[in-house]
Amino acid sequence: MGMLLDGKAVSERFREDIKKIVEHKKFKGEKVPCLANILVGNDGGSIYYVNNQNKLCDKLGVKVKSVHLEEKVSEKDLLKAIDNLSEDNDVDGIILQLPLPKHLDEARITAAIPYEKDIDALSSISTGKLYKGEKCFVPCTPKGIIELIKSTGVEIAGKNAVVIGRSNIVGKPVAQLLLNENATVTICHSKTNDLKEVSSKADILVVALGKPKYITKDYIKDGAIVIDVGTTAIEGKLVGDVCFHEALEKAAFVTPVPGGVGAMTTTMLIKNLCEGLE
């Protein structure tokens, strides 16, 4: 029987570290970190995430500047808002909530965030630096995933890691981070042949598929670490891409949904903010 890999408990340890950083800055009379978040429109998921950011910042003593723009905002006005925050010396990090409304060019707009303040690593410069191994901010969800795996005490180096999903937000960057930790990495996707065969050989399995309860115990190796990134609302409840109770029958560690990866993401955002690129 496997163990629940509790993202809430792991994130709480990082939050205590963040508190100490902020308190130390205050004690020395230094500037307190300031987060700027930009929300366009009224997407329920984005509003929920921004509210969580604001609550956590308040709890940890971090300053926040929130910019909420209407759904029909022009690209020019959104870029101007980003420029204003980029030039604001009080702001240490900027996060733009995605997805944006369809009339806005997401690639062009994220590219406008200077990489020195791009704490969610959305811009092309941040992405390029990540894959070249240069100093940069690490995307928050992938960073949280790596910290969750490390919290098990299992050595990542040399392990066979399988990532199901190739998105720019999770799949690709988490695969790169696993490579940086010297795992042997396979990326699977909708065109992968014999997914069950490939997945069942993984010592570390990261699932970001977007198909609720798709991964059953037949996809999981005995003693594996299973990280479930999926979140789908079914009858008012959030479920992941992994059949949680089936996974517990075979895996050594399994993240729940909710309470797993999602619990880490906002914490890693604030951690990035406080660490900066110093």
Q: Is 144 exposed, middle or buried (0-12, 13-18, 19+ CB in 10 A)?
A: buried
Tell me if 29 is assigned to a ligand binding site.
no
- Per-residue pLDDT, averaged over 90-104, amounts to 95
pLDDT in tens, 176-203: 999 999 999 999 998 999 999 999 999 9
- Per-residue pLDDT, averaged over 136-165, amounts to 97
- Per-residue pLDDT, averaged over 97-105, amounts to 93
What domains does the chain contain, in order, with CATH numbers?
29-114 (3.40.50.10860), 140-261 (3.40.50.720)
Backbone angle region of 213, left / alpha / beta, with phi > 0 → left and psi within -120 to 50 → alpha? left
The answer on pLDDT for 149 being more than 70 is yes
Chain mean pLDDT for the chain:
94
Report the alpha-carbon distance of residue 74 to residue 103 in Å, rounded: 8
The answer on pLDDT for 168 being more than 80 is yes
Q: Which residues pair with 67 in a beta bridge?
A: 38
Tell me if 13 is assigned to a ligand binding site.
no
Tell me if 260 is assigned to a ligand binding site.
no
Report the alpha-carbon distance of residue 50 to residue 52 in Å, rounded: 5
Tell me if 167 is assigned to a ligand binding site.
yes
Q: Given this model, what pLDDT does residue 128 score?
A: 93
